[in-house]
Amino acid sequence: PAPTNNLDAFWMPFTPNRQYKAAPRMLVSAKDMHYRAADGHEVLDGAAGLWCVNAGHGREKIVEAVRAQVAELDFAPNFNMGHPKAFEFASRLTALAPKGLDRVFFTNSGSESVDTALKIALAYHRARGDAGRTRLIGRERGYHGVGFGGLSVGGMVANRKAFGLGLNGVDHLRHTHDPARNGFSRGLPEHGAELADDLERLVALHDASTIAAVIVEPVAGSTGVLPPPKGYLERLRAICDRHGILLIFDEVITGFGRLGAAFASELFGVTPDIITTAKAVTNGVVPMGAVFASSKIYDAFMSGPEHVIELFHGYTYSGHPMACAAGLATLDIYQEEGLFERAAVMGERLADGLHALKGLPHVIDVRTVGLVGAVELEPIEGAPTRRAYAAFTKAFDDGLLLRTTGDTIALSPPLIISEAQVDELVGKLADVLKA
């Protein structure tokens, strides 16, 4: 069906779309950098699907790997059993992970990776006889998925409060000390360390011995694309170390080359204790997530002291053969084509293009890091998000797929993007903004 405003014709089997009362745009196929819509309309993918299709669409190598796998072994139970590709993929992944994170646990999504990471952190402290460490800390404007774990530590207040129920003992770091400013960009980019000191406020409030872990996205994606201000992650790491608190980076978006390095941890030179990933781990082709931890932390989770029998964690589809096959082919492509390095180079071109849009109507901020860009628009008074949605609509009609979060346009094209396509993307966006 073509886009229509008659919502009565639809009920949505996925994300609610109450706000705009518009039916979804139907995508029917995809190849490399483009989606094709039901009416034959082609759009340049400026979002890598939903931050996941880092190697581009319809990659033959991945398609073939999945096809061969499903024909050979379609499913393998993972209780007391396994299959070779799960182990092969696990060792390929840990070889890529930041040094010291030499274990991985498979999940099926970012939300599950977050739940898993929080449980690993709690189990680790328990196993060390430190069972009083149960408090979890997230950040205002953090996004960690839609499970109750991720909702609770997430900082999207409406998402959390709508259900009136969440994990106990959760706090949130402040996003800014000055509500009039965006603590992560406008006004305060040099004050990262100072902002991270907010963790000391929570430590003083609760006592460090009650705090299990802090979870942050190194670059927040779904809440407006917020690269960390200078010194922020370093200071969080230092405070966590001082107080025996585990640091979790949610790299569901930033993992697998998005920032021009395998992981954000590598780019920023800060290694957390646990990393959550999903999305691009399989190029988005088969749902999968992966949680990285050091063997010390992982082993505590896997064996726990007195919980050997009771402690259970795992998903029916953990390490699904098709996901592992897709993931192995995906890693081959990332490495053979040098896509992480390519992202760094194309990211510079994207940054130059986007920063040049600064004078255009309603543009109040431009933020870039790696192959991620954000153009923040001034909200229409009384109608937040409408301006960005209008940009999304016009861009789609003009042949460019954008993602918007609030009134921020987020750009994260597949890492295979060419120079000409970066220019095309920026040019189309400029036309949209002018209009």
Residue 228 makes contact with ligand PMP by CB under 6 A: no
Separation between Cα atoms, residue 184 and residue 82, nearest integer Å:
44
111 touching ligand PMP, by CB under 6 A: yes
10: closest CA among 41, 18, 64?
A: 18
Strand order in the sheet with 27-31: 27-31, 34-37, 42-45, 400-401
Nearest to ligand PMP of 173, 208 (CB atom): 173
Site for ligand PMP in 274-333 (CB under 6 A): 278
Q: How buried is residue 404: exposed, middle or buried, by Cβ count under 10 Å (0-12/13-18/19+)? A: buried
- Whichever of 220 and 432 has its CB closer to ligand PMP, that residue is 220
48 is an interface residue for ligand PMP by CB under 6 A: no
Residue from 114, 216, 247, 324 that binds ligand PMP (CB under 6 A)? 114
Is the CB of 252 or the CB of 374 nearer to ligand PMP? Answer: 252
Q: Does 226 bind ligand PMP (CB under 6 A)?
A: no
**Is 183 an interacting residue with respect to ligand PMP (CB under 6 A)?**
no
Residue nearest ligand PMP (C-beta atom): 110
Residue 136 touching ligand PMP (CB under 6 A): no
Phi-psi region for residue 368, left (φ > 0), alpha (ψ -120 to 50) or beta? Answer: beta
* Bridge partner residues of 172 (DSSP): 138
Task: Scan residues 243-262 and list those touching ligand PMP (CB under 6 A).
Answer: 250, 252-253
d(CA 317, CA 228): 34
DSSP lists the bridge partners of residue 31 as 34
Q: Are 240 and 72 in contact (CB under 8 A)?
A: no
- In this structure, what DSSP letter does residue 281 have? G
Q: How far is the CB of 231 from ligand PMP (least distance, A)?
A: 21
Would you count residue 110 as binding ligand PMP (CB under 6 A)? Answer: yes
Range in contact with ligand PMP (rule: CB under 6 A) among 35-43, 110-118, 311-319, 387-395: 110-118
Distance in Å, CB of 105 to ligand PMP, minimum: 15
Q: Are 161 and 337 in contact (CB under 8 A)?
A: no
Beta carbon of residue 262, minimum distance to ligand PMP (angstroms, whole number): 16
Least distance to ligand PMP from the beta carbon of 132, Å?
Answer: 28
Q: Does 109 bind ligand PMP (CB under 6 A)?
A: yes
Closest approach of ligand PMP to the CB of residue 134, in Å: 22
Q: Given the DSSP bridges, would you call strands 408-411 and 372-377 parallel, antiparallel or unpaired?
A: antiparallel
Rounded Cα gap, residues 175 and 161, in angstroms: 18
Question: Site residues (CB under 6 A) for ligand PMP?
Answer: 109-111, 114, 143-145, 150, 217, 221-222, 250, 252-253, 278
